[in-house]
Amino acid sequence: MNKIAIAQINTIAGNISSNSQKIIDCINNAKKNNVDLIIFPELALMGYPFGDIFIRHKSIITKQLKALEEITSDTKGITALVGFAEPTCDANKKPFYNSVAVMQNGKIINIARKRLLPNYSEFNDYRYFEPSKEPSKIFELNGEKYGILVCEDSFNDKSFFKSDALYGVDPVEELMKQKPDTLINCSCSPSRCGKEYIKHSLFSSIAKKYSVNYIYVNQSGYADNLSFDGTSRIYDKSGELIFRAKTFEEDFVITSDLKGKINTLPVGMEKEININEFTPEYTNDLDRTYKSIVFGIKEYFKKNGFKKAVLGLSGGLDSSICAVLLADALGKDNVWGISMPSRITSKESKDDAKILAENLGINFLEIPLADAIDPLKNMLNSAFEIIKTDKYEKSTTIENLQARLRATLLWSISNEHKQMLPIATSDKSEAYIGYATVNGDMSGGFAPIADVTKTKLFALGRFLNENRAQKNAIPQAILEKPPGAELKINPKTGKTVCAEEENMPYEFLDEIIWFVENKGFGFDELLNHKFYYEKNNTLSIKEKTEWINKFFRKSQFAVYKWHILPPSVVVDIHSINSVEYRQPIISRIN
Amino acid sequence: MNKIAIAQINTIAGNISSNSQKIIDCINNAKKNNVDLIIFPELALMGYPFGDIFIRHKSIITKQLKALEEITSDTKGITALVGFAEPTCDANKKPFYNSVAVMQNGKIINIARKRLLPNYSEFNDYRYFEPSKEPSKIFELNGEKYGILVCEDSFNDKSFFKSDALYGVDPVEELMKQKPDTLINCSCSPSRCGKEYIKHSLFSSIAKKYSVNYIYVNQSGYADNLSFDGTSRIYDKSGELIFRAKTFEEDFVITSDLKGKINTLPVGMEKEININEFTPEYTNDLDRTYKSIVFGIKEYFKKNGFKKAVLGLSGGLDSSICAVLLADALGKDNVWGISMPSRITSKESKDDAKILAENLGINFLEIPLADAIDPLKNMLNSAFEIIKTDKYEKSTTIENLQARLRATLLWSISNEHKQMLPIATSDKSEAYIGYATVNGDMSGGFAPIADVTKTKLFALGRFLNENRAQKNAIPQAILEKPPGAELKINPKTGKTVCAEEENMPYEFLDEIIWFVENKGFGFDELLNHKFYYEKNNTLSIKEKTEWINKFFRKSQFAVYKWHILPPSVVVDIHSINSVEYRQPIISRIN
């Protein structure tokens, strides 16, 4: 039996010299261990996703082909599968094939080209790649036969996907006609809610169905708002999982050392999450969400040359969760939490912010806003005396001014320090309906929770308090009080206005979001839908209609904000992140 | 001969009810005038570009098909060509064909489907459309035969494009085998530098080559950063232009009323612009650039429900050009220019800003920054005493603070007024190398000149002073002084630092940008390239190397800023606008 190495590496798109060095290091390491076959992820040499980069920076293509030659010449005594962007050199075709080179003893003996090109959600393969029209050829090594699939090629099994199968051909079925002993799947597959269980079930069922060994090698890394989890796997001919690599980190393993090694997945991730049905419970996805974001932060900062983060701590849920994620990703010493209370910030909020920072051990500072707000207000008041036309009686000016002043302070602090980024703390529920201030809480160098809804954030907060090594870092009060930006006072109650008063209950909003994103529900379907919220609360048709209308009205207007959201980590089944969902600002949804 | 109506309409993606009403109105108008055949642009019913909108808002598809039926039933006694997104209803295919329905006497008698799908630059057709594998069928009307092309279908003539032809088939050649008397091209073709002359030459050459009448119907409108110019045309069988519709507005014309009517193009647009060669002159593209942006502003504001704009007037080039464009797009009474001098703003700049505003007749206000800067500085100074680690000796903190405070004031003013948007005044040269402040000059609801380089802006300024009805609105000093944000003092000279001191001469930078965007030049090619700048200035290899390196270093780091740029108007041959050029933030170009 051949000794196989799985090289679950992390690359940077376009950085050919560093990617190829990493590949060569792995090959040399494999050679030292007398490995017969080493497998790299899809597009390992070019890095993925590379977008349009090669169009302006053409030298990358030449560099890649030169590096491919060098790697090939380094394969004396070993076979290596290296993913690369293979120029089609045909003006009538797309620029590249998405290919895997089979290198052996200094020569490329075979090339497998991707057949099925995903073009939905975050994928846009047809912009860059020409689909191969022919099945790839299997190759033989010491009497064993191997067939190569490139990622999506393995995702069209008709007995598994049934009517959801997207393509006419099934490359697995075709490849199996050549009777390989083992299928190898080279992938760049990002982590999304519910995806892990589908992948596991699919690969296992293919192995069993065809009685074939199945090796899945996925890249680890973060790019373009996506966290790639790695989690490479081997299944035997009965479909049993016999190896699983690490999740959200690089890994290098050799089959002879495995001894049935199955690394643990994030809690709950191994369980089925029914992505076709909405549940207000997020239990099985919380640890993955946490690790996916922490990994994304780590990677984004490292790959862009940053080490530290500064964020405003309001004593509310969003900024508290962000602080925990940042502390775990960057180390507590690298996080600065700044409390910037205004005159209407409650003592409780100030205390909660401080306690959270103390619990986490991050740097903490309080900068009261009042001294700066007042002169700004005076400046504006004199301006508004002059610019009188169409003045709103009730405007959001002063509310937004507080949020923007806070962001200005954070950017100033980041300017003053080396390798520091300010953080945008907007969550998904609020970004969806535009309840976030431009140049305020939605401004920053990174937006950790822009794809996490508010109800999921509450669940995540409880999960973190229970499951992190340090228990209950987030003060209980933060997980219990109704969310609100504390930007204005309700004259009736004398208290600060909470967000749900201005919008609708988050429980209701998050269920709308789920059905719009996953089922394409419009107004009528939502009105006819029985919400979880309605099970425990009385809700008049009038109010339900108002809330649903408000959702469509506000989310239509929020598209502009989605376009200028800072980089984030996509974690949900679907998101408003522009890497995935592309709605022109000028468009109508109703 | 048939009486033909050209309906150069302006639609909104997804707004089926308004689009179909517009189509029906045009058809009824045509019927009143005894028109035989009325032609609408590509995707007239769905609106273009519609992006992913139909994925979440599925009801749009049903609404569109229902509207298609209604329009069809309205075609008693007339033939209408209506572009629509035709569901393929095949899970193995892309969701739609990009189709044109031939409606006649209440029935759809023919459907032409787009064959060539552009997938480069701003086009991403393969994400949504299935290419038709067969030539469309011609149709006959009162003895005349018509063949239908959908936009790109007409852009693969091998004798015209030679080796640049992108596709294997030429739908025009195929269609001509059926011997139509007239070719009809239904398009959604945005305006870009140099494109107009190519289109004219191409259409004319096709008409002449095949001795066929050629009718081109293009949409007018703005969406997703693109200005669609309209400029529909008719060529006779000798290739002569016999009609040209209006540019940058809607138009409705009937052939019997033409009498050789050829509307004028923006100045210079009818002339050839060699897009394969760099020239530091922009003469033939200035009027188009001006009109394209003015149209984009008008459209963006109107379609999003805004009427007014507020911008900072620094007395510099960028904000001055923006003020002129806004005044011409929205009307002078709808523009507020705010001068926000700091202590280091020169008297000249303040005066220039004021004179400009007076010349344009826009609203003007001066709000000195000092009163707000000082308390903020104090707040930050105390904070920086506490956060001591890694403090930069020379930071950009105070410079950026001024820019951010200005943007905060503009957003506040827009908050306080109805239907008002603040304007981001960043230009393309500066955005390219990240010489723009996040939450500062690059923040706003719209960025009019984000695709215009600085040298082109100087040329545009001179052009506007000469060619607008009101001459010399921009004070001459603004067009002569070196650009600079007046954010800091050079201790050696005691004067404010100009931008070229910090970066490199704009003349040089803009030439780099052109060669990177249009020729994919890398470091070596740029170093070997003889720049225009070098003809009139001595430039050492050392400094040239430094500037080129600086460009790559800074533009690598600027990609984040490109991702959060506000909506703009694409005008150049290529741009950094994310609608066109998609570079992941995590990627390396060198």
A491, pLDDT greater than 90: no
The pLDDT of A497-513, averaged and rounded, is 92
Q: Return the residue of A nearest to B437 by Cα.
A: A411
Per-residue confidence at B361, pLDDT binned at 50, 70, 90?
A: very high
Contact at CB, B418 and A392, closer than 8 angstroms: yes
Set of chain A residues whose Cβ sits within 8 Å of the Cβ of B520:
55-59
State residue B370's pLDDT score: 83
User: Per-residue DSSP letters for B438-463?
Assistant: TTTTT-SSBBTTTTS-HHHHHHHHHH
- What digits encode the pLDDT tens for the residues A245-256? 999 999 999 998
Return the SS3 of A573: coil
Contact at CB, A387 and B588, closer than 8 angstroms: no
Among partner residues A49, A439, A522, which is closest to B408 by beta-carbon distance? Answer: A439
Beta carbons within 8 Å of B308's beta carbon, 6+ residues apart: A390, B330, B334, B335, B336, B417, B418, B419, B420, B421
The pLDDT of A366-380, averaged and rounded, is 86
Q: Return the residue of B nearest to A520 by Cα.
A: B56
Q: Which of A56, A163, A442 to mutate to test the interface with B (most CBs of B within 10 A)?
A: A56
How far, in Å, CA of A266 to CA of A247, rounded? 8
Beta carbons within 8 Å of B528's beta carbon, 6+ residues apart: none
The pLDDT of A48-63, averaged and rounded, is 95
Contact at CB, B304 and A586, closer than 8 angstroms: yes
Per-residue confidence at B269, pLDDT binned at 50, 70, 90?
A: confident
How far, in Å, CA of A105 to CA of A345, rounded? 69
Per-residue confidence at B375, pLDDT binned at 50, 70, 90?
A: confident
How far, in Å, CA of B516 to CA of B526, rounded? 9
Set of chain B residues whose Cβ sits within 8 Å of the Cβ of A168:
92
Set of chain B residues whose Cβ sits within 8 Å of the Cβ of A401:
408, 412
Per-residue confidence at B162, pLDDT binned at 50, 70, 90?
A: very high
Query: Which entry of A122, A130, A151, A561 is annotated as an active-site residue?
Result: A151
Which has the closest alpha carbon to A484: A503, A471, A459?
A503
How far, in Å, CA of B262 to CA of B265, rounded? 9
In CATH, what is the architecture of A283-488? 3-Layer(aba) Sandwich (3.40)
How far, in Å, CA of A401 to CA of A417, rounded? 24
Distance of residue B63 Cα from the nearest chain A Cα, in angstroms: 10
Enumerate the CATH 3.40.50.620 domain ranges in chain B, comma separated: 283-563
Please state the length of chain A: 590
- What digits encode the pLDDT tens for the residues B389-419? 666 655 688 889 999 999 999 999 999 888 9
Tokens encoding A345: 């910030």
Please state the length of chain B: 590
State residue A385's pLDDT score: 74
Enumerate the CATH 3.40.50.620 domain ranges in chain A, comma separated: 283-488
How far, in Å, CA of A509 to CA of A495, rounded? 23
Q: Which CATH class is domain A4-257?
A: alpha beta
Which has the closest alpha carbon to B111: B122, B100, B95, B121?
B100
Set of chain B residues whose Cβ sits within 8 Å of the Cβ of A585:
223-224, 300, 304, 567
| Cis geometry, peptide bond prior to residue A49 (ω within 30 degrees of 0) | yes
Among partner residues B12, B408, B586, which is closest to A303 by beta-carbon distance? Answer: B586
Query: Which entry of B151, B188, B193, B322 is annotated as an active-site residue?
Result: B151
Q: Looking at this protein, which amino acid is placed at residue A563?
A: H
- For Cα atoms A245, A251, A257, give the angle at the middle one, nearest 5 degrees: 70
B578, pLDDT greater than 70: yes
Distance of residue B17 Cα from the nearest chain A Cα, in angstroms: 9
Identify the CATH number of the domain defined by range B283-563: 3.40.50.620
- What digits encode the pLDDT tens for the residues A120-141? 999 999 999 999 999 999 999 9
User: Per-residue DSSP letters for A489-528?
Assistant: B-TTTSSBPPHHHHS--HHHHHHHHHHHHHH---HHHHHH
Burial string for A188-224 (b: 16+ CB within 10 Å, else e) reads bbbbbbbbbbbbbebbbbbbbebebbbbbbbbbbbbb
Contact at CB, A396 and B415, closer than 8 angstroms: yes
> In the predicted model, what is the mean pLDDT of chain B?
94
Contact at CB, A567 and B587, closer than 8 angstroms: no
Which has the closest alpha carbon to A185: A141, A157, A154?
A154
Q: Is B188 a catalytic residue?
A: no
Q: Is A42 a catalytic residue?
A: yes
Specify whether the CB–CB gap between B572 and B451 falls below 8 A: yes
Query: Which entry of A26, A63, A86, A114 is annotated as an active-site residue?
Result: A114
Longest dimension (CA), chain B: 87
Contact at CB, A413 and B119, closer than 8 angstroms: no
Among partner residues B372, B392, B416, which is closest to A391 by beta-carbon distance? Answer: B416
Beta carbons within 8 Å of A486's beta carbon, 6+ residues apart: A314, A316, A342, A344, A345, A346, A349, A496
Specify whether the CB–CB gap between A454 and A478 falls below 8 A: no
Tokens encoding B486: 């007046």
Distance of CA B93 to the CA centre of its chain: 31
Which has the closest alpha carbon to B175: B125, B143, B212?
B212
Count of A-B CB contacts under 8 Å:
306
Tokens encoding B533: 């700048």
Distance of residue A390 Cα from the nearest chain B Cα, in angstroms: 6
> In the predicted model, what is the mean pLDDT of chain A?
94
How far, in Å, CA of A403 to CA of B415, rounded? 13
Enumerate the CATH 3.60.110.10 domain ranges in chain B, comma separated: 4-257
Q: Which of A311, A420, A582 to mutate to test the interface with B (most CBs of B within 10 A)?
A: A582
